[in-house]
Structure 1
Amino acid sequence: MPNKASAHYDFRPVTRADLPMIRAWLAQPHVAEWWDDPEDEIAAIEEHIDSISVEPLVIELDGKPIGYLQSYDPHMEDDHPYQDQPFGTLGIDMSIGVPDLVGKGHGSAIIRQFVADLFEEGVPRVIIDPDPANKRAIRAYEKAGFVAFDTRTSIYGPALMMAIDADGEEF
């Protein structure tokens, strides 16, 4: 488990030079189980580099890349299945790419820090949509303060809809 007093994560924009590293992470069994085909995902991430609706980020710990995170605005994408969320809501997706760091508390710590940054920027709600079978991710998101509010099936597959609001209100 990361030392909460000293663990600080940095989030930097993905560059094209990062794509081979992210491709390797997507091929790791603990990531591949929950993401689509690595080549399809890399193509989408590369498109997101210049996107205004999706922000692809590399997560760093002590200056070393350890994972991938993206935030997105469902209201900026035509026909996004989560447009029923309040205006200003951002969605996030995350994976720790380095296998040795999985199961050590980094996931919930990364999410807590990133969500706190979003709330400071004025984002009212953050959503995340793990596969209902992804118990490890769900536990990490619950530890970060997310609460389940719906189960859906969308173009992205089955999703347990989870949210956290800046004002601390339950939904």
Structure 2
Amino acid sequence: MTLANYRFRPAAMSDLPLLVTWQGFSHVRAWWGNDEPFDEEQLRDTRVSRWIVELDGNPFAYMQDYSVHGWPGHHFGHLPPRSRGIDQYIGDPAMIGLGHGTGFIGQRMDYLFAAGVPIIAVDPHPLNTRAIAVYQKLGFQIVGAEQQTPWGLVLPMEARPPRRGR
């Protein structure tokens, strides 16, 4: 795993050209799609925190964390209050396969758990084996069968804070 200090800055409307470029790459489009990343109204939606991930001042990834209780009937709506879902991708192709996914996702998980989030959920496409392997490396466990949701076919996974003082 890459030991680095990633910076998470709030995504802004000025980031749209970069995000559209990243979503045009096949490695992102295969799992994320290439729709507009967000508009001004979505950017103001307090249910979702949207981040540009940087390393040494260079943006290379997008990440969002969201309230799993923000939408009626959400497939993670059964989780305890304050639980968060996450979604992300590495946009810069040169940063893939170097441990940065594990690194920045793990750093954000540490932050969320330290802030009192009891469970972090993620829902990759069942065929996205690379993402599933990264999530499992970070402590996520598969918690159910694949299922169809309004956001597509997903494999539900959850992580809990690491135990202290074992």
C-alpha distance in 2 between matches for 1:30 and 1:47? 27
Q: Which residue of 1 aligns with 2:25?
A: 28
**2:13–2:39 contact (8 Å) kept in structure 1:** no
Q: Which residue of 1 aligns with 2:51?
A: 57
Q: Which residue of 2 aligns with 1:8?
A: 5
Helix, strand or coil: the match of 1:132?
coil
1:105 pairs with one of 99, 102, 127: 99
Q: Which residue of 2 aligns with 1:160?
A: 155
Aligned amino acid, residue 12 of structure 1: R
Q: Does 1:78 align with 2:69?
A: no
C-alpha distance in 1 between matches for 2:91 and 2:39? 15
Note closer, same or farther for the CA distance 1:17–1:112 as it changes in structure 2 (3 Å cut): same
Structure 1 residue ranges, 4+ long, deviating more than 4 angstroms after superposition: none
Q: Does 1:48 align with 2:39?
A: no
C-alpha distance in 2 between matches for 1:46 and 1:26? 18
Q: CA deviation at 1:118?
A: 0.3
Q: Which residue of 2 aligns with 1:19?
A: 16
Query: How many aligned residue pairs are there?
Result: 162
Q: State the TM-score, normalized to the length of structure 2.
A: 0.91
Q: CA deviation at 1:167?
A: 5.3
Q: What's the C-alpha RMSD, in Å, of the aligned pairs?
A: 1.5
- Tell which deviates more after alignment, 70-79 or 17-26: 70-79
C-alpha distance in 2 between matches for 1:67 and 1:31? 10
Structure 2: state its 5+ residue gaps: none
Q: Percent identity?
A: 37
Aligned amino acid, residue 13 of structure 1: P
Helix, strand or coil: the match of 1:82?
coil
**1:48–1:55 contact (8 Å) kept in structure 2:** no
Structure 1: state its 5+ residue gaps: none
Aligned amino acid, residue 164 of structure 1: A
**1:48–1:56 contact (8 Å) kept in structure 2:** no
Q: CA deviation at 1:46?
A: 4.3
Aligned amino acid, residue 36 of structure 1: G
Q: State the TM-score, normalized to the length of structure 1.
A: 0.89
Q: Deviations over 1:10-37 (max 9, x none)?
A: 1110011011101111111100000123
Helix, strand or coil: the match of 1:75?
coil
C-alpha distance in 1 between matches for 2:39 and 2:23? 11
Note closer, same or farther for the CA distance 1:45–1:36 as it changes in structure 2 (3 Å cut): farther
Q: CA deviation at 1:156?
A: 1.2
Helix, strand or coil: the match of 2:27?
helix
**2:123–2:156 contact (8 Å) kept in structure 1:** yes
